[in-house]
Every structure is written in structure tokens, then in C-alpha cells.
Structure 1
Amino acid sequence: MIIGIDLGTTNSRIATSAGGAARLLPLAVDHATLVRHGDASRLRALKLQAQEVLGRPVTGAVLAVPLHFTPGQRAALRVAGEQAQLGTIQLLDQPLAAALACGVHERAAGTCLVFDLGGGRFDVTVLDVAAGRMQVRASAGAGDLGGAAFDDCLVQHFFHATRLPQRYRTDAAVMAQLAAQAEGARWALSDGAQATMRVQVKGTCYTVTLDQAQFQEACAPLLARLREPVERALRDARLLSDQLDTIVLAGGATRMPMVRRMVARMFGRLPVCTHDPEHVVALGAAVHAGAPA
């Protein structure tokens, strides 16, 4: 069995393909712990987990990697895969994987933009599609944009709204609480109308509740910054937004309603949402793994 792996910075996911359909495998691994032990240990743990779920040995893997990875980083990941005894290893660029999951490769011809807002960074990739093949036409990104940056905005809002003294910004325990609360609030606001953040500081409970409008206002500078890489990628591809045939969302941070609204306004249409954007890279890697040689 050949599996597809999205070795993300905030989460790792595994998928398989059978009968032309890709499916995500349930995992019971602590991603944060795996990251601390390096790629080889992480891949080994993911392989063992996949074998337990599938009930059969893993003989190979398609590893989805960031487009910006250097040849050295790609080589190091191959070595890690060999150390994890993954078998046959293939590397696949993440935007290609996301497009594969959404069936973009099945089109006779066209152009596709992959809008990938993950936990740690933001990437935009323009793909050319022809005769079942996809090729990168242009790309742009920002290494300091991602879900974590939106969490930081929520932390800033919390200090302002609760008047929590600024000296606690250097208190590791308080900031750890706030980081966890901010991340939880972001996920809650990705699916619901409001979220509450609570932090205990020296016996006092500081609380703030935000709705979607307040969340968007707090993150307005980040939303504005998301436009620049998109415009740069389109400029490099020598395309206008209305010349794109498909928009694909990838990365869990694109689940935020304000991000989806911004994308719809920028391109004048709704993006492709056939799969959870958190899962599309792993699913696409599995599609590639199951494709005829």
C-alpha cells in the first residue's frame, strides 16, 4: 500500500486511495511531540499508525512538500523517509496535491490558483492545466502569514479589550494560556458566530467574547496583506483574476469566513470547496499515489 502524507508544520495527515477515491486516515498521534523528534521519527510514527489502521504494510509514500523547499530540503526529507523505512518515496509539491484532490487535473485545459493559508505561512500558486497535466506557472508567498498570525491578532485584541497589564506580555505562563485561547477562538470562529477567551492571572479571570465582525476588524491588517502575494502571482503569470478557471483553497486557516469572503470578492466567484481545505493536500498526495504509473 502506498500512502499520501501531508507533513505540515502544525498538523500531519495521511490518506490512501482505492477505487479512484481518496480517503483520510484517522490518526492518534501527538503532532507537537512528533515535530520535536524530527522528520524521520515523525514519518516512522505515521507509517506505523497507517499500518495499524489499514491492517497491511506500507510499501511506499508520496510526501507533499512546500513548493518553496530547496533541493537540499527535499533531499533531507528523502533521507528521513528512507530512515523511516517508508519504501518507495515520491515528492509532490503541495499546490499540485491540493489541485489533484479537487480534480483540476481532469480538465482538458485551463488555469487554477491555489490559495494556501496554513498554520505558519501563506502561499499562492498559479497552475497551467493541459491534457491531464499540471505545471506551476507562477508562485508567491509570505512566511509570516498564517493561522498563527491571526492568533496573534486575537492576543492583541485581548490585551486591549480586557486591559490586561502589558507587563504580562513577558510572562511565559500567561502568554502560553493566551496562545492556546487565541487558537481555540480562531477555530471556534471558523465554524460559529462567536467565541470566548478566558485567562487566569493571579486569581483574576480576564474574559473577552468576540463575534465575526470584531474578529474581522482585529485582523483587518492581515487580510489586506493577503492581497499582495495574490496580485504578485497573477502579475508574474500575466493573468487577470477573471482569466482563472478554478480557485482552490488549502490550509485550515482558509476555513475562516472572513478569508473565504475576501477570496470570493477578489476573484468574483466562490472557490472550489469539495473537500475540507485542511485535508486537500493529503488527499491529493493519495490521488497521486493511486494513479497508474
Structure 2
Amino acid sequence: MPYVLGIHVGATATSAAIARRDGGRWGAATPLPLSSTGHTVPTVLCRVQDGSFVAGEQASRQELTHHEWVVRGFTRQVGDEAPLLVGSEFISAQALVAAVVEWVADTVAHQLGHPAEHITLAHSATWGPFRVHLVRQALAQLGLRDVTLVPEPVAVALDYASKQQVAEQDAVAVANIGGTGFDATVLRRRAPGFEVVGSTLDTDHPSGQDLDDEVFSHLLGEFDEQLDGLDAADPGHRAALAALRGDCTRAKEALSYHPGSTVRIELPGLRTDFAVSRARYEQLAQPHLERVPELLLQAVQSAAVAPEDLTALVLAGGTARTPLLKRLVAERLERTPQVDSAPELVAARGAAASAVSVLSGVNERPESVAETSVLVRVEGPGALDVIDGEPEREAPPRPPVQVEPMYLEPPDEDRQRMFKILKLTAAALLIIGGLVLTIVQTVGGTSAPSSPIQTQQR
């Protein structure tokens, strides 16, 4: 059955979703598992001997033993002049992003038996046209030329609009708490998609990793004396600590659903279970999560939109399911945020919805324009609405401008005739002068030999 593929390459996790076509109709976008353990995989690559890449959990397992061939955290380095060293070769960040897309596309094609009819990539909200162009070039080098790129907030809004009614001109705020940072964007509905209003607010904190670090540090603090003997240079000790931190991340995620969770500690000389309550976790997380409502409010204000004028406020990213975060946002902005049951997958689903729109012919704008619909829009009196680089409505009429024609003196025919006569006269005089000079020289030259003869006669 034909399908389109939506891919979200996040800073720490990658996900995918597909939409199938049954006859002339497209079904809803649904997430597709990329591993045997879940829908998402780590955004990690490992270079293998033949020069290709493996990604996800398989690449993560190589990090402890062959760390020089493993690379992560490259999505924020797209467009940097300095490439990344992977093994013995320098590779640009955009080439690594393209490698992740290729790996996901191949993995999905292997599961479903054939490749997708179209691919849409949801990328970081901070990428501008230059970075998008670099990633597009890197994809083309891998043979992936039919790929649409959309910003992550647009993909999230598209996923929300596929489930809830969003009228034309309605404003939607999207806040994404990713693994390595936070961004907030206000968008306005412009069927069939959305346009960015104002500018995206982006910051490194808070992030999912900040909360992981809090739980991990809390656990290490409880067993500080028992852990003093660990050697960071020992590969076995490093592997045990990495596994423990992963368990802390899973416990943090479980606390979004349950009042408590347990972390299994298996370290040299220490084997036990450590219980973490939601109340304790919220105490650790609150200093970080308290920043989200304030940052979101700044993004709304930068778009010249009042919080009460928002049609929806959507939280995305795995941290969005934290009950404390939803309470803090609701109290500060006085409205209940919308959080999907799987907020870490909404960008991939929205990317798949965008791919459906492309194949359905709804968006007939040129591909190069349609894929960079993140132009900053400034609203104000007399401002011109611009969508994807094209005027959406006619600008207000400008006041009439009167331009006085420059006066040019009409040509004087008598003066021109006189000037021509003077030029011809000067030319004739030059010719006559040249002839006279030539005759004089000739006469003088023929009489010169007679002088000695005359002298001899004397």
C-alpha cells in the first residue's frame, strides 16, 4: 500500500510516522517504531568499516568501546564551518543529518517492503534558509532529492490541526521542550498550512537533559560514599554509570504517569533499588520548569498577540507530559495547554501530514518556497502579509507621488550646423598644411646636392 513518510530528527531523539493511501484517500498519520523497544531512537550515528552509518540504539551500544566512531549532538551544528571528526574523517553536520534521514527511510522501507512515495523532514525551529539549503544538498548527494523540509513548530501545528478545528487566521502557540533546549513559536493558520508570526524564541535551558541530570545527581548524592571507588577511566565503570543514567531517564519519564518509580542500581560494589517519588522529582524539576511559562509568554508578546487571543497552546517534546509543567503554564497564561498522549511523536506525525499535503496537490507553490515557510512576519498597521515569500493580500495604497519632469533645453539646429562647419574647416586646414609641408621638404631635398658643385666653380 502506498505511503508517505514523516521524519523528525531531534537533537537527542529521532522518530518517524507514516500515512497510507487507500484508493484515492489518505489515512491519518501514525507513528512507526524504529526499534524493538519503542517508537523513538537516539539521534546517534556510528561509522562502520564500509563508510556507511548505523543509527539509533545500535550506534549507542558502540559508544563505550568505539567512541571515536560515534557522533551525537550534531543537529545544532548544521551550517558551522568546522566539520566533526568521525573516526579518521571530517564530516559536516548536515551530512550527518542526511545520513540519519537515509537510515530511517531505509529502515521503514525494509519494514513495509517498499520505499515511501514522499518524505518530509521536520527540523529544528532555529534553522534558517541557509541551513535548510545545506541539508537539502546533503540529502541530494545521497539520492534523496524528493524531500520536503518543514520547521518543527509548523509540523506540530499541522498535527494539532489534523485533530482539532483551527479556523483561518487563528493563532496557535507551540512550545517544545527538547532534549538539549527549549523553543517557542507563534503561528497563524493559513490554509493549507501555518505561517510563523514574529520570531521563534530559542534557548538552551530548560531541556530534557537538565531534568535527567537532576535525577542522576540526586541519586549519586544518596550513594556518594559507595561510589567513591569508581574509576572513570575503567570502561566497565563507565558503562555501568551510563546504564544508570539511562535508568534515571526512564524513571523520570515514568513519573509523568505514576506517583513513584524505582531505579535499579548495578554498580561495582553496589546493587540495590532506589525509589523516587513524583513529589521529590517535582522539587528537583521546578526551578527548570518555572522558566517555561515566562519564555512562552515572551514569544507570544513578540508576535504582538495577547495570550487570550490564542486558539491553542500546544506543548511538545517528552517533557511536556510532566504534570507540573502543565500546571505552571496554565497558572501563568491562564489557559490549559494542549498535550498529546505521545508529545515526543507529534512532530513526526505533522511531517507525515505535510507529505500528504504535498502529494495531494493542495500546495501548488514551488517546492523551494513551500519548504521554507518560516519567514518572520511582522504585524502592524499597513504591514504586508507575506506567506512563504509571496504576498497574501494587497498592501494598503500608497499616497500619490508627483514627479516633476526634468527640463532639457531643445537642441539648436543653427548652433549644431556651425559646429559641424568649424570641424570640417579645421580638418581641411590640417590636410592643406600637411600637403604644404610635404612639398617644402621635397624641394629642399632636390636642391641640396648642387651646393658642392657651386663651391667648386668658385
**Larger Cα-atom Rg:** 2
Partner in structure 1 of residue 330 of structure 2: 264
Q: What TM-score comes out, normalization by structure 2 length?
A: 0.58
Aligned counterpart for 1:155 among listed residues 216, 231, 235 = 216
Give the ranges of 4+ consecutive aligned residues of structure 1 lying more than 6 Å apart after TM superposition: none
1:141 aligns with 2:199: no
1:229 aligns with 2:295: yes
**Relative to structure 1, is the Cα distance of residues 130 and 69 closer, same or farther in structure 2, using a 3 angstrom cutoff?**
closer
Deviations 1:184-243 (A, max 9, x none): 211111221111224344412365311111100011210122233212212212233222
Letter in 2 for 1:27: L
Partner in structure 1 of residue 182 of structure 2: 122
Count of aligned pairs between the two proteins: 293
Q: Using the alignment, how far apart are the partners of 1:120 and 1:258 within structure 2?
A: 20
**Relative to structure 1, is the Cα distance of residues 164 and 271 closer, same or farther in structure 2, using a 3 angstrom cutoff?**
farther
Tell me which of the two structures has the higher relative contact order, counting C-alpha pairs closer than 8 angstroms and 6 or more residues apart: 1
Q: What TM-score comes out, normalization by structure 1 length?
A: 0.88
**Relative to structure 1, is the Cα distance of residues 108 and 75 closer, same or farther in structure 2, using a 3 angstrom cutoff?**
closer
**Relative to structure 1, is the Cα distance of residues 217 and 274 closer, same or farther in structure 2, using a 3 angstrom cutoff?**
closer
Structure 1 residues 104-113 or 64-73, which shifts more?
104-113
Unpaired segments of 5 or more residues in structure 1?
none
Does structure 1 retain, via aligned residues, the 8 Å contact 2:265–2:274?
no
1:2 aligns with 2:19: no
Q: Using the alignment, how far apart are the partners of 2:165 and 2:189 within structure 1?
A: 7
Partner in structure 1 of residue 100 of structure 2: 42
Letter in 2 for 1:276: A
Deviations 1:124-160 (A, max 9, x none): 1111224544211132122242211100111222233
1:25 aligns with 2:32: yes
Letter in 1 for 2:188: D
Q: Using the alignment, how far apart are the partners of 2:247 and 2:274 within structure 1?
A: 11
Unpaired segments of 5 or more residues in structure 2?
46-54, 57-69, 72-95, 362-458
Aligned counterpart for 1:220 among listed residues 269, 286, 298 = 286
Does structure 1 retain, via aligned residues, the 8 Å contact 2:172–2:310?
yes
Write 1 or 2 for the structure with the bigger share of helix.
1
* 1:1-293 correspondence to structure 2 within 5 Å: 1-17=3-19, 18=21, 19-28=26-35, 31=42, 32-33=44-45, 34=55, 36=70, 38-103=96-161, 106-137=166-197, 138-164=199-225, 171=232, 173=238, 175-205=241-271, 207-274=273-340, 276-291=342-357, 292-293=360-361
Deviations 1:60-91 (A, max 9, x none): 31111111014343223212322332341111
Does structure 2 retain, via aligned residues, the 8 Å contact 1:25–1:53?
no
Instruction: Measure how far apart 1:47 and its partner are.
Output: 1.2
Instruction: Measure how far apart 1:8 and its partner are.
Output: 1.6
Does structure 1 retain, via aligned residues, the 8 Å contact 2:316–2:339?
no
Does structure 2 retain, via aligned residues, the 8 Å contact 1:43–1:84?
no
After superposition, the CA RMSD in angstroms is 2.6
Q: Using the alignment, how far apart are the partners of 1:119 and 1:169 within structure 2?
A: 27
Letter in 1 for 2:326: R
